[in-house]
Amino acid sequence: MLPKLQEQTERGAQPILRRLVGEQDRTAFGAFAWGTRITLRAEVPRAFGAAAVVLRLAPDGGETTDTPFAFGSTDFVTDIYTLTLDTAMLCGRDGGLFYYEVLFLRGSDTRFTDSTDNLHFTLSPHSAVKFRLLIHAPDFHTPDWLKSGTMYHIFVDRFKRDENAPPVKAEATLNTDWENGIPEFAAKNGDPLPNRTFFGGTLDGITEELDRLQAMGYDILYLSPVFDARSNHRYDTGDYETVDPALGGDAAFDRLISAAHARGMHVMLDGVFNHTGDDSRYFNRYGTYPSVGAYQSTESPYAAWYSFRHFPDDYECWWGIPILPRLKQTEAVCRHYFTGADGIAAKWLARGADGWRLDVADELPDEFLDELRAVAKKQTNGRAAILGEVWENAADKIAYGKRRRYLRGGQLDSVMNYPFRNAVLDLLLRRDAGAFVRTLTEIYASYPREVSDSLMNLLGTHDTARILTVLGDPEEGSGRSNAELSRARLSADARRRAISLLKLASVLQYTVYGFPSVYYGDEAGLEGYHDPFCRRPYQWGHEDEGLMAHYRLLGRFRTAHKALHGGEFRFLYATDTAFLYERVLGDDRIMVAANVGDSPASVPVSGAWLDLLSRTPVRDSLLLPPLTAALLQ
């Protein structure tokens, strides 16, 4: 760990901390496999005046212990102190979370490390922000196809309607105006909305476009929920055992899986396991299904799956939305329906799905996540991927008053990287390169390496305004009604600027650690404000060809460079408005630079390079115009 570089006045007299594993310098990382012996090395200038160095360590929620470093050697300019932690002595094989700080004793004056990003630190006269140390299971591995993949996130009803598409369900409406149709919306956010207007996208529609998607570089398809449901978004599952007939049913699912696998592509499903729809075989509020649902009788086989305050109309539901009754996943029979050897998770993996993205993972209990991961890995010999919807730093997330253990090797392979999206918006809209560097550094220094290399790096989803719209209108339509937003588009000038910024953002998305996840239509220039306007149909035949060409270039670049498939990540240079980072794996090395300032930035690079974006050769120094990036190979 290094002192903050901007502390110019005392930099020469500041200690340096390193994390070593054997002879390897692993300072950049703060998560280690159980059984690893970590040596903390303090390099303390004599001029700093430290008489001793002490580690103050505490398990999460536990008591602190102080352990002195051992004095090792000196050259009379710098004193070396070391302390070795045996992680097998800190916790069990399932891992644990710890917090620590290092104290430098200088007579009556003690200085404490104050961590800014779990790597760098300043020194404080009192205890401040501690480093986190995450210990994970020794056999924790994530699928290689995640690390090397490029994901395409499809909201199925809005991607493509095939010529033989089945009709929508009774009482639903088909909007046939694919090019100009507006998704059904409420007068104001939070008002009830039936979501019964469909555009008719199907699974066969996706299958028809697999060659085009593959040519763009996409090899992972993440589908919005596909199971039988009442609404167009299908987050109100009616039957987990059946693919919605309006999408083509089970047969269309099989055709998509077969065609995708034949091309070396993977398909991930959206697991909505925290709640069902009220119109479902399990709850059956409207009597749609032949089963006896929990709403209909206290003797229903599903009665114990839900929590009723006053039967039948007062029950727990997701965020107070009555059409989404919450499942009681602490109830064993309910939980095992999803996580058992013959449960829903295993059933669809056996049928060809390659993994699950877990909706609202924060609201799923630990035992559910433990069991689901175990059955998924057993069913697929470890090949399945389990990703969680987590919006914050998942290393030490507290949800509903409880610390979660997502990343210790027994629950999630990885998470949706919303912190990355936030950092990109800080970078491009607030011109804050420092925030971007801090966020990327902290995540990399906090997560297990297997997780960092498998992060789902997104710029937009079905839950956010379109990235192009946000970049062109940073206020995101504030003050305008939903009726106004439903038809709003960026001005020509705002759109040109937004496309330029999106090109910069996507360069970062495709080259930082983890894998990029592109929300359908972002690569084609689709606009849209908040949900449901971010869910407009894909504009076939009206794509922005310049933007499409840019994404194709990024796809080829990502495929060609193994350094982007789990290679080391390191910032080499950073100022308030510009930075440079590298990715390295074996003899493959690439560098990426960005400048968000108002004037050109000179970025030091060593050696000869080619910038693929400008097609310009670069040697030793790169001059970046304002609001541009460089992709160096």
Beta strand 314-315 with 308-310 is antiparallel
Pairing of strands 151-154, 220-223: parallel
Q: Which two tokens stand for residue 197?
A: 């207007």
Pick from 89, 95, 86: nearest CA to 140? 95
Is residue 556 classed as helix, strand or coil in its secondary structure? helix
Considering the candidates 279, 389, 544, 582, report the single residue annotated as catalytic. Answer: 389
Active site residue 389: yes
Round to whole Å and give the CA distance between 211 and 94.
42
* Paired tokens of 312: 């039948």
Q: Considering the entire predicted model, what is its pTM?
A: 0.97
CATH 3.20.20.80-classified regions of the chain: 153-268+332-560
Residues of the chain with CATH 2.60.40.1180: 566-632
Average pLDDT, the chain: 96
Instruction: Tell me the torsion sign for CA atoms 305, 310, 314, 318.
Output: negative
Tell me the CA distances in angstroms from 549 to 74, 527, 554, one per residue in order. 57, 18, 9
Mean pLDDT, residues 578-582: 98
Rg (CA), the chain: 26
The answer to whether 10 touches 117, Cβ cutoff 8 Å, is no
Cis upstream peptide for 625 (omega within 30°): no
CA-wise closest residue to 578 among 620, 622, 529: 622
Contacts (Cβ under 8 Å, ≥6 apart) of 9: none
614: left (phi over 0), alpha (psi -120 to 50) or beta: alpha
632 strand-pairing partners:
591, 611
User: pLDDT band at 2, cuts 50/70/90?
Assistant: low
Are 394 and 388 within 8 A, CB to CB? yes
Report yes or no: 535 and 155 within 8 Å, Cβ to Cβ: yes
Structure tokens at 631: 């992709």
Place of tokens 């206020």: 475
Neighbours of 298 (CB within 10 A): 10
Using CB atoms within 10 Å of the CB of residue 588, give its burial: 0 to 12 exposed, 13 to 18 middle, 19+ buried: middle
Beta bridge partners of 608: 619
- pLDDT the model gives residue 13: 81
The one-letter amino acid at 371: E
Other CB atoms within 10 A of residue 219 CB = 22
Q: Which of 219, 236, 270, 359 is catalytic?
A: 359
Q: With bands split at pLDDT 50, 70 and 90, how would you rate the model's confidence at 11?
A: very low
Which one, of 162, 219, 249, lies nearest residue 540 by Cα?
Answer: 162
- The average pLDDT across 567-583 equals 98
The DSSP 8-state label assigned to residue 538 in this structure reads P
Q: Report the percent of the chain where pLDDT is more than 90.
A: 97
**Distance between the two ends of the chain, CA-based, in angstroms?**
29
Identify the bridge partners of residue 109 per DSSP, sorted by sequence position.
106
Task: Count CB-CB contacts under 10 A for residue 535.
Answer: 23
With residues binned 3-state (H G I as helix, E B as strand, rest as coil), the percentages for the chain, rounded to 5, are: 25, 30, 45
Mean pLDDT across 232-238: 98
Question: Could you tell me the two tokens for 618?
Answer: 């670069």
* Annotated catalytic residue 611: no
pLDDT of residue 12: 53
Query: What are the beta bridge partners of residue 398?
Result: 403
Our CA angle for 27, 33, 37, nearest 5°, is: 65
Band (pLDDT 50/70/90 cuts) for residue 10 is: very low
Check if the beta carbon of residue 363 is closer than 8 Å to that of residue 319: no
Q: Identity (one letter) of the amino acid at 273?
A: F
pLDDT at residue 9, rounded to an integer:
33
Q: Give the separation between CA 418 and CA 387, rounded to whole angstroms.
A: 13
Site of tokens 């639903």? 172
10 sits in which H/E element:
none
Across 328-339, average pLDDT: 98
Residues of the chain with CATH 2.60.40.10: 11-136
**Which CATH architecture describes the domain 566-632?**
Sandwich (2.60)
Pairing of strands 31-33, 24-25: unpaired
Q: Which residues pair with 441 in a beta bridge?
A: none
Mean predicted confidence (pLDDT) in 513-533: 98
Q: What is the DSSP string of 159-206?
A: T---TTPPPPPTT-EE---TTT------SSTTS-----EE----HHHH
Q: What is the mean pLDDT of residues 296-307?
A: 98
Averaged pLDDT, 547-566: 98
pLDDT band at 537 (very low <50, low <70, confident <90, very high): very high
Q: What is the pLDDT of residues 444-475, one digit of tens each?
A: 999 999 999 999 999 999 999 999 999 999 99
Is the bond preceding 59 in cis, omega lying within 30 degrees of 0? no
- Alpha carbon distance 323, 275 (integer Å): 10
pLDDT in tens, 39-71: 999 999 999 999 999 999 999 999 999 999 999
What would the mean pLDDT of 169-174 be, rounded to a whole number? 93
Distance in angstroms (rounded) separating the CA atoms of residues 317 and 67: 49
Report angle CA 268, 271, 276 to the nearest 5 degrees.
150
pLDDT at 107: 86
Q: What's domain 11-136's architecture? A: Sandwich (2.60)
Query: Between β-strands 227-229 and 65-68, what pairing exists: parallel, antiparallel or unpaired?
Result: unpaired
Across 116-175, where does the E strand assignment appear?
Answer: 121-124, 131-136, 151-154, 173-174
Please choose, from the candidates 62, 45, 64, 63, the residue with its C-alpha nearest in 3D space to the C-alpha of residue 54: 64
SS (H, E, C) 199-214: CCCCHHHHHHCHHHHH
Convert the pLDDT of each residue in 590-619 to its tens digit: 999 999 999 999 999 999 999 999 999 999
pLDDT > 70 fraction of the chain, expressed in percent and rounded: 98
Triad 565, 143, 404: Cα angle to 5°: 105
Residue type, 283: F
Residue 287 half-sphere exposure toward CB, CA atoms < 13 A: 0
| CATH architecture for residues 275-328 | Alpha-Beta Complex (3.90)
List the Cα angle 364/370/374 in 5-degree steps.
130
* Residue 38 · residue 27 · CB < 8 Å: no
Instruction: Among 3.30.70.360, 3.20.20.80, 3.40.50.1950, 3.30.460.10, name the CATH number for the domain at 153-268+332-560.
Output: 3.20.20.80
Task: Map tokens 């918006």 to a residue.
Answer: 425
Residue 170, burial from CB neighbour count under 10 angstroms (0-12, 13-18, 19+): exposed
Residue 399 φ/ψ, nearest 5 degrees: -125, 125
Q: Residue 40 — φ and ψ, nearest 5°?
A: -90, 125
